[in-house]
């Protein structure tokens, strides 16, 4: 398997623009997570889905952030409008939800810079 | 609320030394899971180990070993005979079990490990 695939790897955008980050989870995994990594706050969970349904979005910083999972093989994280403080590395991860909590496998991340 | 503390921000040792990375966690759940991830300079997050709260057996994998102690809420990670390739940021993480499935991880701030040749 190719692992979790994120695109783009790097994104530079101007303040106020819309940004869309994409994620393809590992085939067969039914849980998907979006994390954000910054120097100040470390790694934070933004939102996660089970079987394409959002379960917990309490980590989404504000209404400018939204995430969708239209099917089992694709998810997006959108920021509209973007602000400089959104600059961070955004990771997508997937895992197999079952009785035992399994490990999450991470994509390589999208480094977002908002200028 | 769950919390993970990695008190060591940065550790620097000379190659071949043993090094232990500390992790202390807080949770109100009796069922939970602990993880260690490695983030090398290239930036990806690499899974190292998962432990559930009912399994306090220590684990060894090559030069890596983990010491889980519920009495002190700690899950420490030791690298024996460290190598330059071990240089990375290491994260300890916690997940509480709810609804019988996979929930998100709460990460510690990470320990930056530098192995000098």
> Residue B32 burial (CB < 10 Å; 0-12/13-18/19+)?
buried
More confident residue, A67 or B59: A67
Contacts of A12 (CB under 8 A, 6+ apart): A112, A113, A114, A115
- Paired tokens of B57: 């057996």
Check B104 against A91: CB less than 8 A apart. no
- Does B79 have pLDDT greater than 60? yes
Reduce the DSSP state of residue B78 to 3 states and report it.
strand
More confident residue, B51 or B38: B38
Q: Give residue B99's pLDDT.
A: 45
- Does A37 have pLDDT greater than 90? yes
Q: Mind listing the pLDDT tens digit for each residue in A48-81? A: 999 999 988 989 988 999 999 999 999 999 999 9
Quote the minimal CA–CA distance from B104 to chain A in Å: 7
Percentage of residues of chain B with pLDDT beyond 90: 74
- Does B102 have pLDDT greater than 70? no
- Paired tokens of A74: 């694709």
What is the arithmetic mean of pLDDT over B18-32?
94
What is the arithmetic mean of pLDDT over A9-20?
97
Longest dimension (CA), chain B: 47
Q: Mind listing the pLDDT tens digit for each residue in B84-98? A: 999 999 999 998 865
- Does B6 have pLDDT greater than 80? yes
Q: Which residue of B has its CA nearest to A95?
A: B102
Q: Give residue B65's pLDDT.
A: 95
Residue B76 to residue A101: CA distance in whole angstroms: 20
SS (H, E, C) A47-111: EEEECCEEEECCCCCCCCEEEEEEECCEEEEEECCCCHHHCEEEEEEEECCCCCCCCCEECCCEE
Q: Give residue A24's pLDDT.
A: 98
Give the A:B interface size as CB pairs under 8 Å: 66
- Does A93 have pLDDT greater than 80? yes
What is the arithmetic mean of pLDDT over A94-100?
75
Across all residues in chain A, what is the average pLDDT? 93
Q: Give residue B59's pLDDT.
A: 87
Q: Give residue B101's pLDDT.
A: 46
Q: Give residue A102's pLDDT.
A: 74
Check A99 against B100: CB less than 8 A apart. yes
Q: Are B105 and A42 in contact (CB under 8 A)?
A: no
Check A93 against B45: CB less than 8 A apart. yes
């Amino acid at each position: 398997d190719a692992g979790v695939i994120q695109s783009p790897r790097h994104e530079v955008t101007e303040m106020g623009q819309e940004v869309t980050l994409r994620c393809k989870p590992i085939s067969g995994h039914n849980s998907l997570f979006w994390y954000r990594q910054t120097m100040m706050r470390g790694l934070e969970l933004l939102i996660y889905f089970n079987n394409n349904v959002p379960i917990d979005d309490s980590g989404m910083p504000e209404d400018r952030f939204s995430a969708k999972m239209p099917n089992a093989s694709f998810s997006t994280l959108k920021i509209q409008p973007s602000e400089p403080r959104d600059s961070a590395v955004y990771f997508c991860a997937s895992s197999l939800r079952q009785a035992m909590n399994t490990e999450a496998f991470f994509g390589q991340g999208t480094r977002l810079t908002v200028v | 609320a769950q919390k993970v503390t990695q008190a060591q921000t940065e550790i620097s040792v000379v190659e071949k030394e043993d090094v232990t990375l500390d992790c202390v966690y807080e949770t109100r759940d009796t069922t939970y899971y602990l993880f260690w991830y490695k983030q090398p300079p290239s930036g990806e997050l690499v899974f190292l180990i998962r432990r559930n709260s009912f399994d306090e057996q220590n684990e060894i994998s090559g030069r890596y070993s983990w010491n889980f102690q519920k009495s002190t809420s700690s899950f420490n990670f030791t690298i024996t005979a460290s190598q330059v390739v071990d240089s990375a940021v290491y994260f300890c993480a916690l997940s509480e079990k709810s609804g019988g499935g996979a929930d998100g991880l709460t990460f510690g701030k990470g320990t930056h490990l530098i192995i000098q040749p």
